[in-house]
Structure 1
Amino acid sequence: MGGTCLNVGCIPSKSLLDSSHHYENVSKHLATHGINISGSISFELEKIMERKRSVVAQTCDGIKYLMKKNKIDILHGEACFSDAKTIQIKAKNSATETVKAKKIVIATGSKPSQLPFSELDKTRIITSTEALSLKEVPKHLVIIGGGVIGLELGQVYKRLGADVSVVEYRDKIIPEMDASLGKELQRILKKQGLVFYLNHKVEDVKVKGNEVLLKATDKSGKILDLKADYCLVAIGRKPYTKGLGLENTKITVNDRGQINTNEYLQTDEPNIYAIGDVIKGAMVAHKAEEEGIFVAETIAGQRPHINYNLIPGVVYTWPEVASVGQTEEKLKADNVAYKTGQFPMRALGRSRASGNIDGFVKILSDKKTDEVLGVHIIGARAADLIGQAVVAMEYRASAEDISRISHAHPTYSEAIKEAALDSTGKRAIHI
């Protein structure tokens, strides 16, 4: 129960990020605070993994409890459509059960994408699933893809002692977010020791003994050869529709394999809905959750809504990265007249007191109306701070509205107020 997020996604990765962050703080940063620890600092990878498994188990057990509490029947097995109102469920013991339903929701999620020219052996050439359960810290981890998954897991193993190289086809990391965030995050991660090869196309990946050999070329055709003991393929995810029997229904998919739905998340069969990673949009758990609630309320006869522009995106590296609304690049492409306000974290008293001075808050607002169009944050606790921006934008606040709200001092959230002040006539107080 719980799907990708709880089992092999959000929850286990955050557990490993937290444990590795603790280790890095103790081994590298406590002396700055006047805390001296005698002797060598070490970690036990198996205990880190054991804690991760415990967190996952507790969370999944919580889902089972909620199912039982709400009297929801759980049928275990592989489901396949016989027609638009009939599902065949094949259990592990090969027994088959037929279920008929008036309404059906497809929520089968996604799985890691593969390279067309290289087979995942899941031992040396791995996906995020295997990377969450390694039995050793890689000596050299090569990551194909500079997106969220690759960077988070790359930082975990870098903290634990691995050399980490990131090979990205595009000219920036976290390419779907505002370009300024990717530029700043890359600067910080390079300072932490990660090595980046941008504008590189991977041509070949193969295993030779206990080594992975990777070949890539840059825009000029120059060849890059990398050797590693592990290669993490993190080039995105694709919808999981294999074996669903969609051919037995009128349901269609687009060229990316995503199930087509209308504004009510109905498929081409009006009684069948689809949500989450299996349809278009950001592949994040909170988007899927909102869609699940939307469909449940729709079926119950209510009139819910989802504003897809206000689904936040988060990268849980340290510093964290969070974003909501329009990027500066998108506003330029759409010829929208806008204003920019930005405030550096290092100018905050709280940031200096905690030693987390990297990053900034950037607010984009309409040049004429001052309505906030996008908020982009990189810094400590950005994942939590972005919630304030989502609330403001849901109520169509202006940058001045945010600037006139009292923010507790000293807090990281003051950077949002200061960025709003900067957006409304360059009135930021502390820069």
Structure 2
Amino acid sequence: MNTVDAIVIGSGQAGTPLSKKLASAGYKTVLIEKEHVGGTCVNEGCTPTKTLIGHATIADRVRNSAQWHVFAPGMTVDYEAIWKKKNEVVQRFRDGSEAGIKATEGLQLVYGEAAFTGPNTVEVQLPTGGRELYYAEKIYINAGCRPAIPDIPGLAEVPYLTSKELLQLNQLPQHLIILGGSYIALEMAQLFHRLGSKVTVLEKSPALLYKEDADISECIHGILQQEGITVHTNVSIDRIERQMNEDVVVHLHKNKLPETLTGTHLLVATGRKSNADKLKVENAGLLIDNKGFIQVDAYLQTNVPGIYALGDIKGGPAFTHVAYNDYVVILRNLLENKGLNIEGRIVPYCMFTDPQLGRVGITEREAREKGIPITVFTLPMTRVARGIETGFTKGIMKAVVHSETDHILGAAIIGEQAGETITVLQMAMLAGFTREDIRYMMIAHPLYAESLNNLFMQQGK
């Protein structure tokens, strides 16, 4: 038995900084990592995908440069070189994070698969085959999620890919079929299409991004189809099979009519599931919800005193910045007695398609379902000065405002640099600014953010 002050499970965007700060504050800490330092974000999420998206965006600009009266005949894409660059960036981030951990006095990094054996004890299955047992009064879980695989006849018998395996391919798929129509699926669809793959998206819901308002979903759908990506919604998959040449055949129904689709590669991007089961949390007496996520209170503590869960594994919005903010809450409460909690925090996010989708707060649909009196303001990007000047006019700006208080309740922006612009509205919401405050606020010309003035000058509905 190895007795320490704190155990951190998972070296993601909460676990790594938390373990380092705990050790620096005098807590004898062990950080347990199953595979690679950095978690999903660095190794198979944000870092590799945004590196590829950066290259795919340049490819699209060059391929379509004639609209800016710049001509680039004979353009080619070297996917193998792009793939190697992606690996270099991932390795750089991973190595840097690992070096920081190993340089922290009082912090031990242990590679292996963790599982609870009791409320305060964690067993680690080491890569060598041995086992280590650790005891601590404080345990912090940042073990994340993994792809959820749907129960489709034949799927288990075909060589399907998750986003992790897709990013490991050093050759471009000829025809990539994607199951799913949300953030991961659509980012992958566009970036691989732009790098040269034929792409078909299959979504079971009536619309892409089913949690978004209809106008936002339709805008993204139209942009992807305009690029040449085939999108099918309202699809039910009957079965999947593998041909002799290793192509994948998807038998489906669309609008109750049978169809057959053949591709060279199949990506399953139908959501993610908690890794709580892998940790055998029942041995610690931890409560999980009906979807397998660890239940926590507003202070991120589980039902077992001294055990906390951070990031995706506790459910809720599955974003890197949420995990990092969880770390901030835990750290400041522990070391500064701040009494912070996660109730009511405003969570922004960005889907890195091109153009981006930036979102914060509630949607129009959510507001109307709750009976909140609202006024909705919209502005097409075709009326945004910066967009017109630069040639980026795809998308829409939309804000939901409380009709009585004039406070901004939520917003969605599809457009160039939408993630940066949505951050302005997030800060306005945190500060309690009203629609009128933003309407008359001086913003540098001609930023995309300046069009927030124009957005709130519109006649709301």
TM bin (shorter chain): over 0.9
Q: Is the 8 A contact 1:402 1:417 kept in 2?
A: yes
2:94 corresponds to 1:50:
no
Measured against aligned partners, the alpha-carbon deviations of 1:10-46 in whole angstroms (never above 9, x if no partner) come to 11111111111111211222x33333335x1112111
3-state SS of the aligned residue for 1:215? strand
1:129/1:360 CA distance change after superposition, 3 Å: same
Q: How does 1:118-197 map to 2 (within 5 A)?
A: 118=153, 124-197=159-232
Q: Is the 8 A contact 2:298 2:343 kept in 1?
A: no
Match of 1:201 in 2: 236
Query: Deviation at 1:91?
Result: 1.1
Match of 2:95 in 1: 61
Match of 2:410 in 1: 374
| Aligned amino acid, residue 152 of structure 1 | E
Q: Is the 8 A contact 1:125 1:207 kept in 2?
A: no
Which of 281, 286, 290 aligns to 1:255? It is 290
1:122/1:376 CA distance change after superposition, 3 Å: farther
| Aligned amino acid, residue 126 of structure 1 | L
TM-score normalised by the chain length of structure 1: 0.93
Q: Is the 8 A contact 1:363 1:374 kept in 2?
A: yes
2:121 corresponds to 1:86:
yes
Q: Is the 8 A contact 1:152 1:315 kept in 2?
A: yes
Query: Deviation at 1:407?
Result: 1.2
Identical pairs, percent? 29
Tell me how far apart the structure 1 counterparts of residues 449 and 158 of structure 2 sit (CA, whole Å): 43
Q: Is the 8 A contact 2:300 2:309 kept in 1?
A: yes
| Aligned amino acid, residue 33 of structure 1 | W
3-state SS of the aligned residue for 2:54? helix
3-state SS of the aligned residue for 2:252? strand
| Aligned amino acid, residue 265 of structure 1 | L
2:338 corresponds to 1:332:
no
Query: Deviation at 1:70?
Result: 4.1
Match of 2:319 in 1: 284
Q: Is the 8 A contact 1:399 1:421 kept in 2?
A: no
Tell me how far apart the structure 2 counterparts of residues 58 and 122 of structure 1 sit (CA, whole Å): 36
Tell me how far apart the structure 2 counterparts of residues 178 and 309 of structure 1 sit (CA, whole Å): 21
3-state SS of the aligned residue for 2:266? strand
Query: Deviation at 1:132?
Result: 1.3
Gaps of 5+ in 1: 427-431
| Aligned amino acid, residue 269 of structure 2 | A
| Aligned amino acid, residue 42 of structure 1 | T
Which of 143, 148, 154 aligns to 1:113? It is 148
- Between 401-410 and 111-120, report the one with greater CA deviation: 111-120
1:63/1:164 CA distance change after superposition, 3 Å: same
Tell me how far apart the structure 2 counterparts of residues 92 and 23 of structure 1 sit (CA, whole Å): 41
- Between 8-17 and 343-352, report the one with greater CA deviation: 343-352
| Aligned amino acid, residue 188 of structure 2 | L
3-state SS of the aligned residue for 2:378? strand
Match of 2:12 in 1: none
Query: Deviation at 1:165?
Result: 1.2
1:400/1:17 CA distance change after superposition, 3 Å: same
Measured against aligned partners, the alpha-carbon deviations of 1:152-205 in whole angstroms (never above 9, x if no partner) come to 011011112222111111111111223321110111111001111111111212
Aligned residues: 422
3-state SS of the aligned residue for 2:282? helix
Query: Deviation at 1:309?
Result: 5.1
Tell me how far apart the structure 1 counterparts of residues 211 and 92 of structure 2 sit (CA, whole Å): 33
Tell me how far apart the structure 1 counterparts of residues 93 and 242 of structure 2 sit (CA, whole Å): 36
Tell me how far apart the structure 2 counterparts of residues 297 and 179 of structure 1 sit (CA, whole Å): 40
2:433 corresponds to 1:397:
yes
Query: Deviation at 1:207?
Result: 1.7
Which of 210, 226, 237 aligns to 2:272? It is 237
| Aligned amino acid, residue 273 of structure 2 | K
Gaps of 5+ in 2: 1-36
1:125/1:65 CA distance change after superposition, 3 Å: same
| Aligned amino acid, residue 274 of structure 2 | P
TM-score normalised by the chain length of structure 2: 0.87
Query: Deviation at 1:85?
Result: 1.1
Query: Deviation at 1:308?
Result: 5.0
1:299/1:169 CA distance change after superposition, 3 Å: same
- Between 124-133 and 44-53, report the one with greater CA deviation: 124-133
Query: Deviation at 1:248?
Result: 1.5
Query: Deviation at 1:73?
Result: 2.2
Tell me how far apart the structure 2 counterparts of residues 169 and 35 of structure 1 sit (CA, whole Å): 40
Tell me how far apart the structure 2 counterparts of residues 203 and 28 of structure 1 sit (CA, whole Å): 38
RMSD (Å), alpha carbons: 1.8
Query: Deviation at 1:299?
Result: 2.6
